[in-house]
Structure 1
Amino acid sequence: MSEQDQVARRGADSEVGRLRTVMLHRPGPELKRLTPRNNDKLLFDGLPWVSRAQDEHDAFAQALRDRDVEVLYLTELLTETLESRDARNHAITTALAGLHLGDTLRSYLAEALRDESPSELMTSLTAGIRNDEVRGGHGLVTSLLAPDDFLIDPLPNLLFTRDSSVWVRDRVAITSLAMPARRRETQLTELIYTAHPRFAGTRTVHGWHHEHVEGGDVLLLSPGVVAVGVGERTTPAGVERLARQVFHADLAHTVLAVPIAQERATMHLDTICTMVDVDKMVVYANVADSLVAHTVTAEGAGGATEAGAADVRLRVEQPEPFLVAAAKAMGIDTLEQIDTGLDPVTAEREQWDDGNNTLAVAPRVAMAYERNDETNARLEDAGIEVVRIAGSELGSGRGGPRCMSCPIEREPLPTS
C-alpha cells in the first residue's frame, strides 16, 4: 500500500464503525515501579500483578486480531521512532525538562541517554530512571534525593492509550493531559505521530501544550458529532479550543459539551457512557438522568491556519438532557440507553468495574470485561454481541477496553 493510500485510510468518524487498526500498550516494567508510596503520585489506582495483567492484555489483543483488527503497540512504534536522531534528541530534551534535576545531573543524563539504543531509550523513557540507577552526574541533587526517588518518572498510565490521542475523521487530536505525572505520555504519543514513518503525512489538531482535553472525554457519537466531557480532567477552555479546531478543519458540525459531576466512580465521559451501535449507548444509570449537554456549533470560520481556527465564532445553546441533545445532533429519533446493572447498587458496582467502558469493534459488537455479568446480559438483551475479556488485573488501574485502546482506523459508517 502506498503512503498516500495509508494516509487516506487512517481515521475514524464514529465509535462503532468496523475497527481495522488500533494502538495498544502492553503492560511492561513501568507497572513494576508502582509501590504503595508512589502509586497515588503516579495516578494509578492499584498495584497490579504485572505478569497476570500481561496475560490478560495478550488475550485482549488476540481477541482483536481474531476480529481482523491490526494491533499496533505503542512501545514498538516509539522504539522505531527513536531510530531518528532528531526524534531521540527531542524525546531526551523533553524528558529532562523538569526543574528538579539541576544542571549537573541533567547534563549527565542527556549524554547517557544519547548513548542508549532505541530500545534502551524507549525503556528509560517509559519505565523511568531511579536515583540509585545512575552511575554519574553525582552532586548535590543526587546526594539529597533518596536512592529510590525517580529522576525520570515511570508512566504506568501508558496502558490507557485512549487518553493521549483520539482520531477525528482523518486527523489525530493530540490531547493535553491535565495531571503533570501524565504529561510525558502525550508528548511521546505526539512524537510517534509526527516522526514515525507509518504516520507520515498525518495532520494533527490540538496538542499537549494547549488547554486540557483528555481522550477519555471525547466520544465520536456519529459522523460530524463529537461529545466532550468537562470535569476533572478536561476543562471548559479545552473544549472551546477543540471545538474551534474541529469546526475550522470541517471535522464536525456539532460538539456537545457535557459537564460531569465528579464522583468516586466517574472521571472521563467514557466512564459514564460508550456507544455500542449507531443508535445505542451503554450508560451508568445512576447519573443518566442528571447528565446534560450544551450544543455547540460554528457561526463562522477563519482562514486555513490555527490562527484562523481561533476566529471561528461559536454558538452555545442552553443545556438540555444529554441523550436528547445527542439524538438531535445525530439526526435520529432516539438514542437508546442500555443501563449498567439491574439496580442502583449493582449499577454502581459494575460501573466501578468499568462495565460501561466498552470497545465497539463493529456495530452491535462490543468488547467488555467478563466480570460484569448484569451489564453484559443487558447488552445482549439489546442485541449486542459481547466479546468478553478477562480484566481482574488490567482493571486495577480503573479502565476498561475502551480506555486501553486508541482506534487508528475504522471503516466509515454508511451514509443514508
Structure 2
Amino acid sequence: MDTIEAPSPPSVDPSPAAYSIPAEAHLLEQVIVHTPGPEMELVSPENREDLLFDDILFVGHARQEHLLMCSVFEKIVGRPDTVLQIKDLLLDAFEAEEAARHSFVEKLCRSLPEQNLGAVEDELKRFSPEDLQQFALTGQSELPIRAQPVPNLMFTRDLAAVVHDHIILSHAATVARTRESIIINVILHHHPRFAPHSDKVI
C-alpha cells in the first residue's frame, strides 16, 4: 500500500459553523475525525486493559487506513474543509483563547482528582498551545506528573451527536475516556467556528 501523507490543515471558511442534521439519511457535508497518532503508540501490553483495548494496534497501518478513509470523504464531498481533525481544532481553540486553555486544565483537574493533576494546575495553565495540545492527547510533558494517553479519541462517534440544530455531548462512563469529553467540550465552546453556537450545546 502506498504511503498516505496527512493533509495540511485546510484553509477553511472562518464563518461560524451552524449545526443542522434534519434526518438520519442525508448528504455528508463535514465530518470531525481523529487520525491515530502518538497517543496510540503509548498503548502497551501493560496498560491496554486500563485504556479499554483488547489488543495492540499497528499504528502505522491504522493511520494509513484512517487517512485513506478521510481522502474518500474529501473526494466524495468535494470541499477542502470536509474533514476536520480534532487535534487541529483543539490547537486552534487553545491558540484563539487563553480561556480555552484554562478551561481545559480546570476541567481536567476537577474530573480526574485521583491523578493529582491539581498539583501542577498552574504549570499546565502556562503551557503553550502546542504543549497543552500534546499533553491533552498523550498525557506526556516535561512535568513530573504523567497522565494516560487518549487512544480511544479516534472513536469520535462516541463524543457527541447532532440532533437537528443542537449538539448533545456524551459523558464518559470510564476514567480512560474522561479527557475525550473535556476535549470536545472545549472545542465546541471555544473554537472560533463553534463558539458562536455554544448555546446549542447540551
Aligning the two structures, in what range does the TM-score lie when normalised by the shorter sequence? 0.7 to 0.9
The answer to whether structure 1 residue 99 and structure 2 residue 113 are counterparts is yes
**Aligned counterpart, 2:3:** none
8 Å CA contact retained: 1:11, 1:172: no
8 Å CA contact retained: 1:3, 1:200: no
The answer to whether structure 1 residue 81 and structure 2 residue 93 are counterparts is yes
**Aligned counterpart, 2:30:** 21
**Aligned counterpart, 2:122:** 111
Q: Distance in 1 between matches of 2:52 and 2:152?
A: 8
The answer to whether structure 1 residue 41 and structure 2 residue 54 are counterparts is no
Cα distance, 1:2–1:57 mapped onto 2, change above 3 Å = closer
The structural deviation recorded for 1:205 is 4.7
**Aligned counterpart, 1:350:** none
The answer to whether structure 1 residue 128 and structure 2 residue 128 are counterparts is no
Q: In the alignment, residue 159 of structure 1 is paired with which amino acid?
A: M
Q: Structure 2: where are the runs of 5+ without partners? A: 1-12
Q: In the alignment, residue 100 of structure 1 is paired with which amino acid?
A: E
Secondary structure class of the residue paired with 2:21: coil
Taking structure 1 as the reference length, the TM-score comes to 0.41
**Aligned counterpart, 2:155:** 160
8 Å CA contact retained: 2:48, 2:54: yes
Which aligned pairs between 1:219-258 and structure 2 lie closer than 5 A? Answer: none
Q: Distance in 1 between matches of 2:70 and 2:200?
A: 26
Taking structure 2 as the reference length, the TM-score comes to 0.82
Q: Distance in 2 between matches of 1:54 and 1:3?
A: 30
Question: Out of 172, 180, 186, which is 2:181 matched to?
Answer: 186
The one-character-per-residue Cα deviations of 1:248-278 (angstroms, maximum 9, x if unpaired) are xxxxxxxxxxxxxxxxxxxxxxxxxxxxxxx
Over aligned residues, Cα RMSD in angstroms?
A: 2.1
8 Å CA contact retained: 1:174, 1:204: no
The structural deviation recorded for 1:32 is 0.8
Q: Distance in 2 between matches of 1:79 and 1:165?
A: 19
Q: Distance in 1 between matches of 2:157 and 2:130?
A: 23
Q: Distance in 1 between matches of 2:100 and 2:75?
A: 34
Q: In the alignment, residue 75 of structure 1 is paired with which amino acid?
A: K
Q: Distance in 1 between matches of 2:29 and 2:113?
A: 42
Q: Structure 1: where are the runs of 5+ without partners? A: 136-149, 207-416
Aligned pair count reads 184
Moved over 6 A (4+): none
Q: Distance in 2 between matches of 1:2 and 1:85?
A: 19
Q: Which one has the largest radius of gyration? A: 1
Question: Out of 70, 74, 77, which is 1:61 matched to?
Answer: 70
The structural deviation recorded for 1:3 is 4.0
Q: Distance in 1 between matches of 2:33 and 2:14?
A: 24
